[in-house]
Amino acid sequence: MSENDFIIEQIFDNENFTEKQKKIIEAAIELFSEKGYASTSTSEIAKKAGVAEGTIFRHYKTKKELLMSIVMPLITKLVGPIVVNDFNKVLDRPYDHIEDFLRATIENRRAVLKKLLPVIKIVLQEIPFQVELKEHIIEQFAEKIFGLFVNKIKFYQEKGQLIDMPPNSIARLMLTNILGYLFSRYILFPNFEWDDELETERTLQTILHGLSPKE
Amino acid sequence: MSENDFIIEQIFDNENFTEKQKKIIEAAIELFSEKGYASTSTSEIAKKAGVAEGTIFRHYKTKKELLMSIVMPLITKLVGPIVVNDFNKVLDRPYDHIEDFLRATIENRRAVLKKLLPVIKIVLQEIPFQVELKEHIIEQFAEKIFGLFVNKIKFYQEKGQLIDMPPNSIARLMLTNILGYLFSRYILFPNFEWDDELETERTLQTILHGLSPKE
Amino acid sequence: MSENDFIIEQIFDNENFTEKQKKIIEAAIELFSEKGYASTSTSEIAKKAGVAEGTIFRHYKTKKELLMSIVMPLITKLVGPIVVNDFNKVLDRPYDHIEDFLRATIENRRAVLKKLLPVIKIVLQEIPFQVELKEHIIEQFAEKIFGLFVNKIKFYQEKGQLIDMPPNSIARLMLTNILGYLFSRYILFPNFEWDDELETERTLQTILHGLSPKE
Amino acid sequence: MSENDFIIEQIFDNENFTEKQKKIIEAAIELFSEKGYASTSTSEIAKKAGVAEGTIFRHYKTKKELLMSIVMPLITKLVGPIVVNDFNKVLDRPYDHIEDFLRATIENRRAVLKKLLPVIKIVLQEIPFQVELKEHIIEQFAEKIFGLFVNKIKFYQEKGQLIDMPPNSIARLMLTNILGYLFSRYILFPNFEWDDELETERTLQTILHGLSPKE
DNA sequence: GATGAATGAGTGTTCATTCAT
DNA sequence: GATGAATGAACACTCATTCAT
């Protein structure tokens, strides 16, 4: 099973696609991610997928619908399955110390990012141009994930492991550091040589130093 | 003088453009920034600029050359004029305390970002697809700015104001927090209500807490 | 039983269609008549008929064959059943006076036109483009109906009720007036308010005045 | 100068087209008239006109706009120039006897029909599908021409040359006979052998007999 | 007999680019 | 320097038709 098959399985878990439809999605993900949505033609997708151009439009009314069919469920899946099954495990497991919680969070997000990299790239590219996508993300992410995150923060604040700053701001700063690191690592400069363990640890320690109460 | 005129002045300082050429650049910046490079047609640009379609190609051999002519000098200017004139002032002025240096840096970057927002959006969009652009950025930014920044860090490390961590990593973490904040503030969620002063201060304190030696 | 069912019955009297086939014909008549043959797609027909696209082609090798299967028997039926059963009754019944003959003819044609309006519209549209159709019409109509009509004219000429003009020309003039009236009434301006009885009478009188011998 | 050039001149009198644009219109008229609007592709038009397909769309935003640009001014021209210059001459010249008026009218319409046959065919084909066209025709024709015609009829009624029937009905009957004849002659059966002079005269006499007061 | 996924040629239209004026 | 008509390849999308199930 190819890497792309895996992505498709992750994003469209239970749906049963025909073989051709899978090929189309695979090809679309690869091309959108490499050349961008607007610069990828449906004929290229058809060619790469090994299907007739008409076949694409039997399954998706428009090119945009194809994009959305790939990109919208990803969001749900980033908050849903992987999140419910993985991320929530992280959030719910009673890590006694915030350091362990953060480390688990980083590793979890890193795993997701690595697995779904091409589709995530597409999402990032299209956010500015697809209003529905942006709204869907804000809805799903901001309201669900951010909320859970904020709760965790309150939890550790009560335990005296985090400074007394509005949880929203703490959340923003933590996410900035975690996502900023992962973004630099996997999207901006994937080709640099990174000492992952070390850099993760440094990010982690900076967050902890920065947001722990003075002892 | 319009805002766009200002951008053009900033990016293409000494070059003397005809009025038509200015209009073309203005229109291109606006459209590329709104709809993306690939989704903007040269005829749209011509129409918005109030010139004939052919006129664009008199000044720029191809559509891509027009893009590059806008986007490449920006990079130089982010490192050059504004940088030499503004940013370096920041870097060179002997701020006694790192806190003042960081605060000045944030404010300086914020100012640049606000001024050049449309062009910066274009750059961010096109980085993944324009190899030369990406290389130019890494060259200019990574090597020049990052170097200067690393020197400053060493300077404050010697003064005992920063923890003993490889300056590269410190730089990465500082930039992650500063740029992550500005990016969230001005590009991702420009429409949210931000208490700029407060949020800036929190970002700043987090960096300082996170990267200062334990007292 | 719907109006369409009636049309189908009229045109394809003895043939026994499956339910699906009937639905296809019904849908085709409606769509061809509304949007024209060339502008109606087989998928539209399938959708409106509630069958799969393939089903159409199980019954008709091509889209054109579907058109012809609707349009050709109409011609035969205009000359055949309705004609043999209705029109000929008119022609054969020994109306003593031409006025009665003409009045009966108009009413008979009016009834046919009203019943089969959608299919007749299709025929009129396609005559210029379907050579076989045109030929079929000329064959059936010109040779059979026109012949019968001419005989009737001779009959009334002998009775001294029609002027001495070549029967062909008289036929043409009568048909022009009758069909011209019906065409204006039901196809060109069906939405105007017509006083049918009055206008019929006027048409009739004009023909009679125009073609009766001077008294 | 070709026959088509003449049509173009007649319909688009003063407009100055480029050579290519003329070729496009010419090709479009010929093809629309032969195969119907819906069955003619823009690529065919381009090929026949000897221009690139893009050239068509430089002059006409859509295929439909091309159709309308041909078909709408025809209506105006049937009522306008040819009408104002020719038809009105007929209507205004004080023919003492209605017979002369009708004969002149038939000959005038015949001339127009012969000249503009291809475009008139297109109009007739598209009336059922182009609402604007139908409305334009009713507006222009029904209101302007029909009005003039009705006035003439009143004039001859007063002179005692026409029976006492509502002028509208007389107009309808006259037009039915004139147009019915011309339509049969030039559109339905242009290939039959017609003795034009004779058939015209018969049509004329029928109208006169039919609509003259009993002597 | 009926389905509907699949096809690939063809559709109207847009595109970046050229070039004579 | 500026124009805008012209290009033809490419575009997203539709079509009538086929065929395995």
- Read off the pLDDT of residues A113-128 as tens digits, 9 standing for 90 and up: 888 899 999 999 999 9
**Ranges of H-type helices in C80-130:** 81, 88-92, 98-126
B93 or A44, higher pLDDT: A44
Closest CA to B144 of B206, B80, B201: B80
User: Within an 8 Å CB–CB cutoff, is residue C184 touching chain D?
Assistant: yes
pLDDT in tens, B112-136: 888 889 999 999 999 999 999 988 8
Q: Which residues of A6-28 are buried (b: 16+ CB within 10 A; e: fewer)?
A: ebbebbbeeeeeeebbbbbbbbb
First to last CA, chain A: 52
Contact B173 A172 (CB under 8 A): no
Q: Cα separation of A117 and D28, whole Å?
A: 52
Q: Write the CB contacts of B134 (distance below 8 Å, at least 6 apart in sequence).
A: B127, B128
In this complex, does chain B touch chain C, defined as having at least 3 beta-carbon pairs under 8 Å apart? no
Based on C-alpha coordinates, what's the Rg of chain D? 19
* Cα Dmax for chain D: 66
Chain C residue with minimal CA distance to D183? C176
Measured between CB atoms, does B168 come within 8 Å of chain A? Answer: no
Of the two residues D123 and D17, the one the predictor is more confident about is D123
User: Are D211 and C208 a contacting pair at CB < 8 A?
Assistant: no
- A165 and A211 in contact (C-beta within 8 Å)? yes
Phi, psi for A119 (deg, rounded to 5): -70, -35
Quick check: A104 contacting B, CB < 8 Å? no
State which nucleotides on strand E lie below 7 Å from a protein beta carbon.
Answer: 1-20
pLDDT reported for residue A88: 54
User: Where does residue C159 rank: exposed (0-12), middle (13-18), buried (19+ CB within 10 A)?
Assistant: exposed
Question: Which chain C residue's Cα is nearest to D209?
Answer: C210
Instruction: Point out the residue nearest to E4 (C-alpha to C1').
Output: C52
The answer to whether C154 and C91 are in contact (CB under 8 A) is: no
pLDDT at position C86 is 45
Residues of A within 8 A of B203 (CB-CB) are: 173
Q: Which residues contact D74 (CB under 8 A, 6 or more apart)?
A: D11, D116, D119, D120, D123
Q: Quick check: C176 and D173 CB within 8 A? A: no
Q: Do D184 and C206 touch (CB under 8 A)?
A: no
Predicted pLDDT of residue A3:
66
Calculate how close chain A gets to B122, using CA atoms only, in Å.
11
Residue of D nearest to C206 (CA): D210
Q: What pLDDT was estimated at residue B48?
A: 93
SS3 D171: helix
**In terms of pLDDT, which residue wins out, D47 or C5?**
D47
Say how many Å lie between the first and final Cα of chain D, rounded. Answer: 52
Chains touching C (3+ CB pairs < 8 Å): D
Residue A39: CB less than 7 A from any atom in strand E:
no
Distance of C1' in F11 from CA in B40, Å: 14
A69 touches strand E (CB under 7 A): no
Query: Which pLDDT score is estimated for A2?
Result: 60
* Backbone φ and ψ of B11, nearest 5°: -80, -40
Q: What confidence score (pLDDT) does residue A92 get?
A: 59
Chain centroid offset of residue B64 CA? 21
Calpha distance D172→A8 (Å, rounded): 70
N-term to C-term CA, chain B: 52
Mark residues 20-59 of chain A whose C-beta is closer than 7 A to nucleic acid strand F. Answer: 40-44, 53-54, 57-58
Q: Note the pLDDT tens digit of each residue in B65-91.
A: 999 999 998 888 777 644 554 455 555
Domains of chain C by start residue, with CATH: 3-65 (1.10.10.60), 70-211 (1.10.357.10)
Burial status of residue D158 (CB atoms within 10 A of its CB: 0-12, 13-18, 19 or more):
exposed
Q: How far apart are CA A202 and CA A196, in angstroms?
A: 10
Q: Does D207 touch chain C (CB under 8 A)?
A: yes
**What is the pLDDT, as a whole number, of residue A14?**
59
pLDDT at B82: 44
Q: Cα separation of A121 and A33, whole Å? A: 6
* Rama region for D193: left / alpha / beta (φ>0; ψ in -120 to 50; rest): beta
**Identity of the residue numbered A63:** K
The answer to whether the CB atoms of D173 and C128 lie below 8 A apart is no
Nearest residue to A60 (alpha-carbon basis) of A49, A50, A75, A70: A70
CA dihedral C51, C56, C59, C64 (to 10 degrees): 150
> Touching check for B201 and chain A: CB below 8 Å?
no
pLDDT of residue B1: 46
Residue of B nearest to A199 (CA): B169
Q: Inter-chain contact D176–C184, Cβ cutoff 8 Å?
A: yes
The alpha carbon torsion through B191, B192, B193, B199 (nearest 10 deg) reads -120
Residues 6+ apart with CB under 8 A from A171: A146, A149, A150, A153
pLDDT, tens digit, 9 for 90 and up, residues A148-193: 788 888 888 888 898 888 888 888 888 888 999 999 899 888 888 8
CA angle B76, B81, B87 (to 5 degrees): 100
pLDDT 10s per residue in chain C (215 long)? 466 777 777 777 656 788 888 899 999 999 999 999 999 999 999 999 999 999 999 999 999 999 999 999 888 877 764 445 445 555 556 678 889 888 988 888 898 888 889 999 999 999 999 999 988 888 887 777 777 788 888 888 888 888 888 888 888 888 888 999 999 899 888 888 889 999 899 889 888 887 777 65
Asked if D176 and C173 come within 8 Å (Cβ–Cβ), the reply is no
Q: Are C206 and D209 in contact (CB under 8 A)?
A: no
CB-nearest to B38 from A38, A177, A214 is: A38
How far apart CA B142 and CA B150 sit, in angstroms, is 11
Burial class, A1, CB count within 10 angstroms (exposed 0-12 / middle 13-18 / buried 19+): exposed
Using alpha carbons, select from D187, D182, D185 the residue that is nearest to residue D33: D187
| Mean pLDDT calculated for residue range D150-179 | 86
Which tokens go with A165? 């700053």
Comparing A86 with A215, the larger pLDDT belongs to A215
Spatial distance from the CA of D53 to the C1' of E13 (Å):
10
pLDDT of residue D96: 82
Report residue B37 as tokens: 């490079």
| Distance between the alpha carbon (CA) of B66 and the C1' atom of E16, Å | 12
The amino acid at B186: Y
CB contact set of B112 (below 8 Å; sequence gap of 6+): B78, B82, B86, B87
User: Which residues of chain D does C208 touch, with a Cβ-Cβ cutoff of 8 Å?
Assistant: 210
Which letter, b or e, does each residue of A94-106 get, where b requires 16 or more Cβ atoms within 10 Å of its Cβ?
ebeebbebbbbbb
C/A Cβ contact: 3+ pairs below 8 Å: no
pLDDT of amino acid B24: 93
Query: Please, what is the average pLDDT of chain B?
Result: 84
Determine whether the interchain pair D209/C210 forms a contact, defined as Cβ–Cβ distance below 8 Å. yes
Q: Establish if C203 touches chain D: CB-CB under 8 angstroms.
A: yes
Strand F, nucleotides < 7 Å from a protein CB: these are 1-20
Task: Measure CA to C1' and name the residue nearest F6.
Answer: D55
Dihedral, CA of residue B120, residue B126, residue B127 and residue B131, to nearest 10: -140
Q: Which nucleotide is nearest to C52 (CA to C1')?
A: E3
Question: Strand F: which of residues 36-55 in chain C lie with Cβ below 7 A?
Answer: 40-44, 53-54
Looking at residue C147, its pLDDT comes to: 79
Residue D184, number of CB atoms within 10 A of its CB:
19
